[in-house]
Structure 1
Amino acid sequence: MPAALEGSEIVIPAGFRCPISLDLMKDPVILSTGITYDRQSIETWLEGGSFTCPVTKQLLQSADLIPNHALRRMIQSWCVENRDAGIERIPTPRIPVTRSQVAEILSQIESASRRGSPGSCVAVADRIRLLAKESDRSRRCVAGAGAGAALAAAFAAVCDRFADSEKESAPAAAAEAILAAMNAVATIDSEAWSHVWTRSCMRRLAWLISGGSLEGVGNAVWALREVLRDDEKILEGDNRKILESTPGLVEGLVRVVREPICPATTKASLEAIVEMASASDRMVCRVAEAGLVPVLLEILPGCERGMCEKALAALDLACSRREGREQAYGHALAVPVLVKKMLRVSSMATDLAMSVLWRLSKGANGEAVVLEALSVGLFQKLLVLLQVGCDDGAKEKAKDLLKMSNKYKDRLECVDSGDFKNIKRPA
């Protein structure tokens, strides 16, 4: 209902109200039973699984909705007559896109990608993106028509055709436009994403992450994260080899974390890094060599829960390698921030922080790590953790850390792990 009607003496004619929402109709449509409803209300009713008329309770013979142009014009005239009371004229609604229209547009982008016409790909992909963003109904219609699979196939076709032209602006613009359309559609299944498991697609994603526009970087990171969500696909066939042999992929993701664009892109980057490192020891080495450890230790003190858990997961994987542990040993915040995160964020963050400490304590500088951890409250937190309970893996690491701590707990005065005032951050 328009805000101007609240508290006023103007009464909306009963015929102008939607029988479902009782609000002034903005886009009146006629159901097969002859009753008029507001389009958004009746579509929500039908999508909820009800296939009867809300007023007559009759079983619907058809779900087609016919625009009631005459009633809409009457409502608009009424709004104009009451404009002195602050009533705004309801704009003429756009005709919603149909599935057949979407199918025709998708055939155009398939044809353009096969022909190798970057300009046409950009034009059609932009049209799909705008349709998907027009309304929730349009997005569902676009997704239901198979846009995810068609766009993924078009992206693969463009990447394959221009595999040796990564730096050319036209193919890069086409790839960015298609990824933007895919992001707008959002609901894309793993079968559609399987089109992207090629060397040319991964190289294109790596190039966009490292050198694309800001929007292109965000969409490329999102696409890579979505591709990697299917753990079985990573281990299928040559997919892991494709990841391991794609230059600049890990390095680009680390750069996005180091030079953040937005929190959503940073989270997606960390998730992609964790997925790749979890599937391949070689990728873990690349993550450590790319210098991710100090970057994570810098963002951990002030990040929120979701970001903290993802950063700790990536840090735990990186510190499973000697290169990662050496970077952590040389960082003043490493031990204090890990102890601080225990029992403060979530059970997952606690387990991950303890796992990183356990890895560091087993390395070359293990004694120094344990002594520093004790000085910022590790011993008390381990006792609390064992009392409140944790899973078997975390419990074994906690016991192991407690045994190592017992050797030194009398040599230092333990303080609260939140006392960071004497810690110097690296330049």
Structure 2
Amino acid sequence: MVFSWKRKKAADQEKLKKGEELVIPNQFVCPISLDLMKDPVSLSSGITYDRESIETWLNGGNFTCPVTNQVLGSFDQIPNHSLRKMIQDWGVANRNYGVERIPTPRVPVSGIQVSELLFILEDSVRSLNGLRCLELVQKVEKWGSESERNRLCVVSNGGISVFAAAFDAFARDNSFESNANLLEEILSNVNWMFPLSQLHSLDHTEAAQAHLGSQDSLRCLVWLLKCRDLSAKKDSMIALKELVSLDQKHAEALATIEEVSEVLFRFVKEPICPTITKASLMVIFHLLSSPSSTSMKIKSELVKMGLVSLLLEVTVDSERSTSETALGVFDMLCDCEEGKEEAYRNALTSPVLVKKILRVSELATQFSVSAIWKLSRHEKEREKVNIFLVEALQVGIFQKLVLLLQLGCGFVTKEKATELLKMMNPCRTGLECVDSVDFNNLKRSF
């Protein structure tokens, strides 16, 4: 056997000299992916597959062996160590052909292992044993870093609800500083278990929401945003965005926490990370969407801080999703008197809002038209409204609205665009509202 292997190796080297292409031995190829196997496992049918390929097959709801088509009596995947060793040796022998080194795969974590660890973690949380909890949380983090399969195993066994409960428990006494490292570790793990909306178990989703959305947990998340490093700020902001996006009640609870407006505004004004900036705008959007009196208070606070002008600056050169959210927040700030006053004072208001119509997306167009419509209906400030309408006409809003109606839009946006055209008619005298451009071939930009 050794002699024949050496002869084969010598023959392969001779082929390399001649420039021939290396052929992978059939027994090393996965029957599903037709690629070189990196982690060969055998099923009860006796056929060997690459672990990733057969797991994808089984997770797709298949109960048969792909090769033999027989119903599997067991879904156990037995590692084929001897074949893996042969594949690794073959790879080393043919590295001159560009074959990459195949590392020894880690044994994936089992559901039983995950369940046992989560049970111990729950017990440690009940006794508020911080050191033991940190040790267990770090072990789960190590599992998650090894493979996507491990992460799915942790999530499917209720990891999100256990971790959320742990976060809530150690945030409960407000001694955030003493538990900071543990809280950050827990939150880091919770974030790779999102989104909650895609969890298969409704019980786990509701439990996780209840714990992460508690007043203690929300206060802790805001504290992490204020006092910890970039990684903790990022994890906290993602968690807040996830919560407020799922249920408006979390946004209303968050709105009652002191300094939340200042913290969110600072991340937009002084961006430290694109992810944090986008998430901050999304959280603000949901805070302002609430019909409660707290929402109106936050609108007033944010306007006084200068958010109206800041949003216009952000919108000018931002990418699509950020621009949409910024325009949505701007639109809601125009609901209050202070917001409208700030918008009238800013020279960028008309050019930016008009420019975004039919330029970014349907949602951005909807928010832009809505904001212009609100600014055009301020009955107490007719002089300012007329100035605003003239400025909008000068930067091309008339033709934009006509094109929008021709290309099609949502019912509410159509109604507002039609009303705007009527309101602008008296202001059109002496103004060139339509460029001499052929728009026959213009198509919807989104």
Q: TM-score with structure 1 length normalisation?
A: 0.88
Number of the residue aligned with 2:61: 49
- The higher radius of gyration belongs to 2
User: Does 1:153 find its partner at 2:165?
Assistant: yes
Q: Could you say what secondary structure the match of 1:229 adopts?
A: helix
Q: Could you say what secondary structure the match of 1:63 adopts?
A: coil
Deviation at 1:95, TM superposition (A): 0.7
Number of the residue aligned with 2:313: 298
Corresponding residue to 2:270 among 239, 259, 277: 259
- Cα separation, partners in 2 of 1:328 and 1:120, compared to 1, 3 Å: farther
Deviation at 1:272, TM superposition (A): 1.7
Counterparts of residues 233-244 of structure 1 (less than 5 Å): 234-235=248-249, 242-244=253-255
Tell me, yes or no, if the aligned pair for 1:202 and 1:243 is still in contact at 8 Å: yes
Counterparts of residues 24-423 of structure 1 (less than 5 Å): 24-160=36-172, 162-163=173-174, 165-166=175-176, 168=177, 170-188=178-196, 189=199, 190-191=205-206, 192-231=208-247, 234-235=248-249, 242-279=253-290, 280-290=292-302, 291=305, 292-363=307-378, 364=381, 365-414=384-433
Deviation at 1:89, TM superposition (A): 3.4
Q: Could you say what secondary structure the match of 2:126 adopts?
A: helix
Deviation at 1:103, TM superposition (A): 1.7
Range with bigger deviation, 59-68 or 242-251: 242-251
Aligned-partner Cα distance in 1 for 2:73–2:308:
62
Q: Could you say what secondary structure the match of 1:185 adopts?
A: coil
1:135-193, Cα deviation, whole Å (9 max, x unpaired): 22111111111111111111111111x32x23x1x322222211110112224354122
Tell me, yes or no, if the aligned pair for 1:312 and 1:353 is still in contact at 8 Å: yes
- Cα separation, partners in 2 of 1:79 and 1:311, compared to 1, 3 Å: same
Range with bigger deviation, 97-106 or 107-116: 107-116
Deviation at 1:10, TM superposition (A): 2.5
Deviation at 1:309, TM superposition (A): 1.2
Aligned-partner Cα distance in 1 for 2:398–2:98:
67
- Cα separation, partners in 2 of 1:75 and 1:244, compared to 1, 3 Å: closer
Deviation at 1:79, TM superposition (A): 2.2
1:325-348, Cα deviation, whole Å (9 max, x unpaired): 222222221111001111211222
Tell me, yes or no, if the aligned pair for 2:356 and 2:364 is still in contact at 8 Å: yes
Range with bigger deviation, 69-78 or 359-368: 359-368
Aligned-partner Cα distance in 2 for 1:230–1:87:
47
Q: Could you say what secondary structure the match of 2:35 adopts?
A: coil
Q: Could you say what secondary structure the match of 1:116 adopts?
A: coil
1:88-111, Cα deviation, whole Å (9 max, x unpaired): 432111111111111222234323
**Structure 2: runs of 5 or more not aligned:** 1-15, 200-204, 436-446
- Cα separation, partners in 2 of 1:277 and 1:8, compared to 1, 3 Å: farther
Aligned-partner Cα distance in 1 for 2:231–2:162:
21
Identity %: 47
Deviation at 1:324, TM superposition (A): 1.8
- Cα separation, partners in 2 of 1:296 and 1:171, compared to 1, 3 Å: same
1:209-243, Cα deviation, whole Å (9 max, x unpaired): 22221111111111111111223xx34xxx66633
Aligned-partner Cα distance in 1 for 2:192–2:170:
19
1:336-389, Cα deviation, whole Å (9 max, x unpaired): 100111121122211210111122222332122111111111122222223333
Range with bigger deviation, 239-248 or 334-343: 239-248
Give the residue type in structure 2 aligned to 1:379: F
- Cα separation, partners in 2 of 1:390 and 1:73, compared to 1, 3 Å: closer
Tell me, yes or no, if the aligned pair for 1:222 and 1:265 is still in contact at 8 Å: yes
Q: Could you say what secondary structure the match of 1:208 adopts?
A: helix
Aligned-partner Cα distance in 2 for 1:260–1:229:
22
Tell me, yes or no, if the aligned pair for 2:31 and 2:49 is still in contact at 8 Å: yes
Give the residue type in structure 2 aligned to 1:179: L
Deviation at 1:399, TM superposition (A): 2.6
Number of the residue aligned with 2:9: none
Superposed CA RMSD? 2.2
Deviation at 1:37, TM superposition (A): 1.1
